[in-house]
């Protein structure tokens, strides 16, 4: 089995599309955070799905960046790095939510619910220590990175501009959740899921840099040949 750059790029496109689908699916019938028992199977399943989404999204945006890194320039690099940091931190949050918080519910339920509240954008009643720093990094990386990366994708125009713009707008709009009722949490996640699906499908359909391919024969003609 030969591993090619176009094959890896197509795989990244599939990963992004699946990540967007999972991101939308986990919002369906999602219970209110205050009434969500972290000991339930549903909690573990949803958090595990979100962790998988973060891994796939990270693979997807990596493929998007590598597909157009020449055209994206410094803005694309910074946007990708910050966005990737946001997803990596989000992955750690979801792993903690699925594997650690359920084990603490009996011994320290107040701390667990404070973490759940902070993760949902609320203000915890007590001190949650380093988890607050982790949540802040995840939020900042997601919002700022999504904005910069979306703008970089929009400027290159290689992938659909509507999906690039939707990615930038949808990630930034999540900052408004701190001032909106909790009922807005789930609907606000849908646009980014759609953006990831659109970008992923486009990346899968257009995995190769045509200009790079056409430049190779020209370079070969200009170089001296050995006879």
* Residue 140, C-beta contacts closer than 8 angstroms, at least 6 positions apart: 86
Higher pLDDT, 211 or 192: 192
Residue whose C-alpha is closest to residue 148's, from 72, 62, 199, 68: 72
The CB density around residue 92, as the number of other CB atoms within 10 Å, is 14
Cα separation of 11 and 9, whole Å?
5
| Interval 59-87: pLDDT, tens | 999 999 998 889 989 999 999 999 999 99
Positive or negative, the CA dihedral 116, 26, 77, 12 is: positive
Site of tokens 């125009």 = 157
Question: 173: burial class by Cβ within 10 Å (0-12, 13-18, 19+)?
Answer: middle
Q: How far is CA 183 from CA 132, 158, 170, 186, in A?
A: 23, 36, 16, 7
Residues of the chain with pLDDT > 90, as a percent, come to: 44
- Asked if the model's pLDDT at residue 180 lies above 60, the reply is no
Listing DSSP states for 52-64 in one string gives HHHHHHHHHHHHH
Residue 29 CA to residue 48 CA, distance in Å, equals 16
Domain spans in the chain, listed from the N-terminal domain onward = 8-206
Instruction: Mark residue 8 as left, alpha or beta (left: phi above 0; alpha: psi -120 to 50; beta: remaining).
Output: alpha
pLDDT of residue 210: 52
Strand ranges inside the chain, DSSP E: none
pLDDT at 178: 52
- Of 5-9, 84-88, 144-148, where does mean pLDDT reach its minimum? 5-9
Helix (H, G, I), strand (E, B), or coil: what is residue 179? helix
Which pair of structure tokens corresponds to residue 60?
């997807």
What is the rounded distance in angstroms from the CA atom of residue 215 to the CA atom of residue 227?
23
Comparing 4 with 227, the larger pLDDT belongs to 4
Find the mean pLDDT for residues 143-154.
Answer: 94
Which has more pLDDT, 174 or 220?
174
């Amino acid at each position: 089995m030969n591993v090619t750059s176009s094959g890896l790029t197509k795989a990244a496109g599939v990963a992004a599309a699946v990540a967007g689908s999972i991101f939308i699916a986990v919002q369906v019938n999602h219970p209110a955070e205050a009434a969500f028992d972290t000991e339930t199977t549903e909690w573990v399943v949803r958090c595990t799905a979100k962790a998988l989404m973060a891994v796939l999204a990270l693979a997807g945006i990596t493929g998007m960046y590598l597909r157009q890194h020449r055209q994206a320039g410094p803005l694309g690099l910074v946007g990708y790095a910050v966005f990737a940091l946001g997803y990596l931190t989000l992955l750690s949050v979801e792993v903690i939510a699925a594997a650690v918080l359920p084990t603490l519910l009996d011994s320290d339920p107040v701390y667990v619910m404070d973490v759940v509240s902070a993760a949902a954008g609320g203000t915890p009643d007590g001190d949650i220590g380093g988890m607050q720093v982790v949540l802040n990094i995840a939020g900042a990386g997601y919002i700022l990175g999504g904005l910069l990366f979306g703008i970089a994708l929009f400027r290159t125009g290689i992938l659909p501009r509507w999906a690039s713009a939707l990615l930038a707008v949808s990630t930034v709009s999540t900052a408004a959740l701190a001032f909106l009722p909790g009922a807005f949490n789930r609907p606000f996640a849908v646009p980014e899921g759609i953006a990831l699906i659109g970008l992923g499908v486009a990346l899968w359909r257009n995995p190769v840099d045509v200009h790079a391919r056409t430049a190779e024969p020209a370079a070969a003609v200009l170089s001296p040949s050995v006879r």
